[in-house]
Amino acid sequence: MFFCFTFGIERFKRKSGHNVWHCPNCQAKDVYLIKGNQCFTFCFIPLIPVGGTKSLYECQTCNWVNVQQPNF
């Protein structure tokens, strides 16, 4: 028998919008606006969102992250 009673706080990220920017770190045009928030989970099911939603810009190629929009 397997019982799953796991609590946790998970961070969820999703791409927001369709805009793509150039990465100032690796020059790839692969920077997306990411909306992230944290959820309280039970048995890996997100139940309650905790904290506010954070917006940041993340490069999918080199994992460069910035809170400010790239210039180009």
Site membership for Zn ion, residue 61 (CB under 5 A): yes
Q: Which of 59, 69, 70, 71 binds Zn ion (CB under 5 A)?
A: 59
**Token representation of residue 35:** 């909306």
Q: Measured from the CB atom, is 39 or 62 closer to Zn ion?
A: 62
Q: Measured from the CB atom, is 8 or 13 closer to Zn ion?
A: 13
Site membership for Zn ion, residue 64 (CB under 5 A): yes
Site membership for Zn ion, residue 20 (CB under 5 A): no
β-strands 31-42, 7-21 pairing: antiparallel
The number of helices, as runs of H, and strands, as runs of E, in the chain is 0, 4
CB burial of residue 59 (10 Å; 0-12, 13-18, 19+): buried
Q: Which of 25, 37, 38, 41 binds Zn ion (CB under 5 A)?
A: 25
